[in-house]
Structure 1
Amino acid sequence: MKKDIQIPKVEDVFVAVVTEYNDIYKTQDWNAYIINDKNVDLEVVLIVTSGYSDKKMTSIFRKKLDVLPKKSYAKIELMQEELFALNNEFKVTFFEGNTMFEKTFLFKENTVNEKALQTIPLMKAKGVLLK
């Protein structure tokens, strides 16, 4: 029975943690984003995030987007730098047409830092990207 279940591979959907200047508070913030680099809209996008280590665990955060348009991105959450010492997991589920897709993105502990910054597609910003 399990061999008959087709699990489609997620492509061109990414999660990035981006560093951005906050004009209101005059601070350099870290924000998590979901990026849709596909040529189709994503529907009913559900994102469940949590941080954990052997000794600590954060609360679970959930976010829903009705539609994430093609070639666009949306902010998931503000991330405090203390969280980067933990493993940060983003479970993403969405529909593309009538097909449901799911993928877990994991930023391992201490992988989000200034030395790991790269240019993020579609955003013209610097951050750490998971494909």
Structure 2
Amino acid sequence: MKTDLPENIVEHVSIAIVLDSATPEAKLWKVYLINLKDQALETVLISSKGYGEKDGEKIKTSVLRHSLGNVEAKSFIQIELIDEQVFGLTNEYWLSFYLGNQIYDKKFIFVPESIVETNMIRIPLLNKAGVMIG
């Protein structure tokens, strides 16, 4: 039964949307997985999608699936590039990974208009400005 399953809570793992570089013509945004744990994450899988409304019309992006392999302790890995045009949508990242023989999963949801300068912090390990959910 579901009540017999262990409650595997994901801690010290974050998703960050980072302003990687900017020129007067364009900004380059990237999405990263940040592992702040003292142990590696194994067999990391992430699915990403965007959804919401724009001009009264429902919008859904394609679901992207990423197999990232292992992510070492106290490290980060790029998941994908992200276009500013989807910042007005809900951007969802569903993470799954193993620690030993236990599987963990967690949804990280960036709500519409949350990826703005006033929400930016200095992202640990990356040392760049971005918005992070952990």
Q: TM-score range by the shorter chain?
A: over 0.9
After superposition, the C-alpha distances for 1:18-56 in whole angstroms (9 at most, x for unaligned) are 001179xx7421110000000001110000000001400
Q: Secondary structure at the match of 2:62?
A: coil
Query: 5+ residue gaps in structure 1?
Result: none
After superposition, the C-alpha distances for 1:89-131 in whole angstroms (9 at most, x for unaligned) are 0000000111100000000000001221101111111100001
Following TM superposition, the consecutive aligned residue runs of length 4 or more in structure 1 with deviations greater than 6 angstroms are none
Say whether residues 1:111 and 2:114 are aligned partners: yes
CA distance in 1, matches of 2:10, 2:2: 19
Say whether residues 1:18 and 2:18 are aligned partners: yes
Query: 5+ residue gaps in structure 2?
Result: none
Please give the TM-score of this superposition, normalised by the length of structure 2: 0.91
**How far apart are 1:3 and its partner, in Å?**
1.4
One-letter amino acid matched to 1:19: L
Q: Secondary structure at the match of 1:30?
A: strand
Say whether residues 1:52 and 2:55 are aligned partners: no
- Number of residues of Structure 1 aligned to a counterpart in Structure 2: 129
Among all aligned residue pairs of Structure 1 and Structure 2, give the percentage whose two residues are the same amino acid.
Answer: 36
Say whether residues 1:39 and 2:38 are aligned partners: yes
C-alpha RMSD of the superposition: 1.4
CA distance in 2, matches of 1:80, 1:121: 22
Instruction: Name the counterpart of 1:96.
Output: 99
Instruction: Name the counterpart of 2:68.
Output: 65
One-letter amino acid matched to 1:84: F
Please give the TM-score of this superposition, normalised by the length of structure 1: 0.93
CA distance in 1, matches of 2:120, 2:47: 24
One-letter amino acid matched to 2:8: P
